[in-house]
Amino acid sequence: MKQLKGVFSLFIPLILILIFSVAESSQDNSNIKVLRFHKFQRNKQHYQDGISSCFHLKSRREEGSTTMEIKHRDFCTKNKRHDDLEKRRLNLDADQVKFLQYRMKNLISGELQTLSNTQIPLSSGTRLEILNYVITMKLGGKNMTVIVDTGSDLTWVQCKPCRLCYNQQEPIFNPSTSLSYQSITCNSSACKSMQEATGNFGTCAYSPSTCNYYVSYGDGSYTRGELATERLDIGNSHVNNFVFGCGRSNKGLFGSASGLMGLGKSDLSLVSQTSKFYDGVFSYCLPSTDAGESGSLTLGRKTSVYRNTSPISYTRMVQNPQLSSFYMLNLTGISIGGVHLNNLSFGENGVLIDSGTVITRLPPSIYRAMKAEFVKQFSGFLSAPGFSILDTCFNLSSYKKVNIPSVKLQFEGNAELNVDVNGVFYLVKSDGSQACLAFASLMYEDEIPIIGNYQQKNNRVVYDTMFSQVGFAEEKCSY
């Protein structure tokens, strides 16, 4: 008996060590993600199949909600060299952020511009080439594949007769063939809502009976035409008298899309105009750039139609009268591999969450702290040259997979965005020889931080304008 007790006493410490080791391993694993490398190779036929499938995206209705298939535009365009595509996208993203900061600064200071005195800054890029995600809707009974943007309010498509139109895949919308199309007059409330929605006043210079609109994207890209109403079909839902922009003059690298869907917060946005059907709630799960990958854009409050794998955690929208059409949040913290960064300050205006910006931007002091902690944990790897706006890069070409620290963004109310493994590193080169931390610094401390779409991938992001909150949950995107 004594011998048994002696043996048992020897095993107890071993058992305790094993228990604590398992617990510690489990805790460590939650702070580590595995990045697997693969080649970004798609043959010509695959690209042609992709291009055609991008203009026949599906939709369905279930439990009072409408879900639309969403795809990344890389799968919808002709083949380009991976490295050239990545460099161009980041250069355009830098222009995009400069424009957003310029626009938000002017809104905060109250310096709105009218159509007649707007000067369009010129640069080499265009915002709409880096807006990465498209869906298909029906306008006047015609399929229209449009770019999705939470940073814009007005939905618009190209219209005949066209004074200046770019090439698009689908037939250009022709109002003269629609019985439900109706122009909007100058004295209408929709015309008066133009200032909030676009930053420019509606104008009646061309025709007193028609409200003309103008939207510029800060870099020489623009759409100009008249406001009108038309029947909109999304899924099995029908929206009569939907206010949209009928674009007669449109310039920019819009790809082959027919126009843009505005998911901002103003009265003219699709979210506001469909609120009686969907309670002002929409959500998306943004897919990766892999060939054939699909995500979803869902309109409606029913969370049971989502496929999230973690509970939805919500944070309140920051109410800012000057930035009322933007989605502003209160970011309170960042953790790298389970280590919380200390003494962070994100400014008084909050942070912007935007589906149109690619890379998340942080104030310089916070980015430096994040970079230092990430490099400290991700040690032992060869460094690589910086690339465009990204300055923390590694040569990982000799690895098939690597363990990387988790990155989590914390918000007011204990909400958390757990950045997907594919949103931590930006693969500049497809062989992994230039893999960069997918975060960048703003130029100045007082600029507004932005959470980009790259860090939102494979997460369900829920926008609830009725209760003024945004939610996050992990989800492997699919349709």
CA-based angle 254:149:87, to the nearest 5?
Answer: 55
* Contact predicate 168/257, CB 8 Å: yes
Tokens of residue 316, six digits = 């309140």
Residue tagged active-site, from 74, 149, 153, 267: 149
* Contact predicate 70/296, CB 8 Å: yes
Residue tagged active-site, from 93, 219, 354, 420: 354
Q: Is 303 left (phi over 0), alpha (psi -120 to 50) or beta?
A: alpha
Cis geometry, peptide bond prior to residue 161 (ω within 30 degrees of 0): yes
DSSP output for 334-398: EEETTEEPPS----TT-EEE-SS--SEEE-HHHHHHHHHHHHHHS-SSEEE--BTTB--EEE-TT
354 assigned to active site: yes
420 assigned to active site: no
DSSP 460: E
Strand pairing category for 435-437 and 339-340: unpaired
Burial of 343 (0-12, 13-18, 19+ CB in 10 A): exposed
Neighbours of 389 (CB within 10 A): 18
Active site residues: 149, 354
